[in-house]
């Protein structure tokens, strides 16, 4: 993961934040090690999620996750860096609890994470403009929303006060869906119309070999 982050940071001339999942551990020592590797890779911020991936207990207790945020912030401070923590609340993404209670639970967690030092609260899985607007108002800090095909546009999210929009795994899944569609077309019809509009090799070769040091700005 850190090798990939380092490659990305070396290829661009803007600050990089990386999705470091749940921080690869639960202790302050784990967070210190993660931040050390992150900064060495050239990034200055990270997503930190409160999801566990365990169906029987899908979310960390808020105080546990808040403790991880404080440890990340402290680890950066010791190294002279104000690490940007984009704290992810997975209540909506993992559909935890009854739908009627998800907004208040998300706000409860988001406020705890903000107080622990998160610079931004990330709430994936939300597309309802009224819910998004309430989150922005109640959390009173920068809010990050995950883009969805039928969700509000960037302009609409901006009007709601959203500070950051992420595409997440969407581009990768869209690309793989096109590959699946093409394979099905070849097998079932013997045609390849899904290839229409594909960029030429030369365009991708130029993109992959461009020297980032020659870019302006």
What's the pTM value of the predicted model, to 2 decimals?
Answer: 0.90
Domains, the chain, ordered by start: 2-168 (3.20.20.60), 171-217 (no CATH)
Residue 84: C-alpha distances to residues 16, 114, 117, 161, 216 (Å): 10, 12, 9, 19, 25
Query: What's the mean pLDDT in 109-129?
Result: 98
The least confident of 53-57, 88-92, 123-127, 144-148 is: 53-57
Cβ atoms 40, 79 nearer than 8 A: no
Query: What's the mean pLDDT in 30-45?
Result: 98
pLDDT for res 119: 98
Residues β-bridged to residue 120: 86
Which helix (H) or strand (E) covers residue 9, if one does? helix 2-11
pLDDT for res 208: 81
**CA–CA separation, 110 vs 31, rounded Å?**
19
Model confidence pLDDT, tens digit, residues 167-210? 999 999 999 999 999 999 999 999 999 999 999 999 988 888 87
Q: Which residues does 65 contact at the CB level (< 8 Å), separation at least 6? A: 48, 50, 87, 109, 112, 113
Please identify which residue in the block is written with the tokens 């969700």.
151
pLDDT for res 217: 42
**Average pLDDT over all residues of the chain:** 95
Is residue 109 over pLDDT 60? yes
pLDDT for res 198: 94
Q: Which residues does 105 contact at the CB level (< 8 Å), separation at least 6? A: 91, 96, 97
């Amino acid at each position: 993961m850190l090798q990939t982050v380092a490659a990305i940071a070396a290829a661009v001339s803007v600050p990089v934040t990386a999705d470091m999942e749940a921080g690869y551990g639960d202790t302050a020592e784990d967070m210190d090690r993660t931040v050390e590797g992150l900064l060495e890779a050239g990034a200055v911020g990270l997503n930190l999620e409160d999801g566990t991936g365990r169906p029987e207990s899908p979310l960390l207790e808020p105080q546990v996750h808040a403790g991880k945020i404080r440890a990340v912030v402290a680890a950066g401070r010791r190294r002279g860096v104000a690490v940007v923590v984009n704290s992810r609340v997975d209540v909506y993404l993992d559909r935890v609890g009854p739908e009627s209670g998800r907004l208040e639970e998300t706000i409860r967690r988001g406020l705890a994470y903000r107080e622990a030092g998160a610079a931004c609260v990330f709430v994936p899985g939300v597309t309802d403009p009224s819910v998004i607007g309430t989150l922005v108002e109640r959390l009173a800090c920068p809010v990050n929303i995950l883009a969805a095909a039928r969700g509000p546009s960037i302009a609409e999210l901006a009007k709601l006060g959203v500070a950051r929009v992420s595409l997440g795994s969407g581009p990768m899944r869209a690309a793989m869906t096109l590959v699946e569609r093409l394979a099905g077309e070849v097998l079932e019809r013997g045609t390849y119309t899904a290839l229409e509009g594909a960029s030429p090799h030369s365009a991708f070769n130029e993109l992959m070999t461009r020297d980032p040091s020659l870019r302006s700005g």
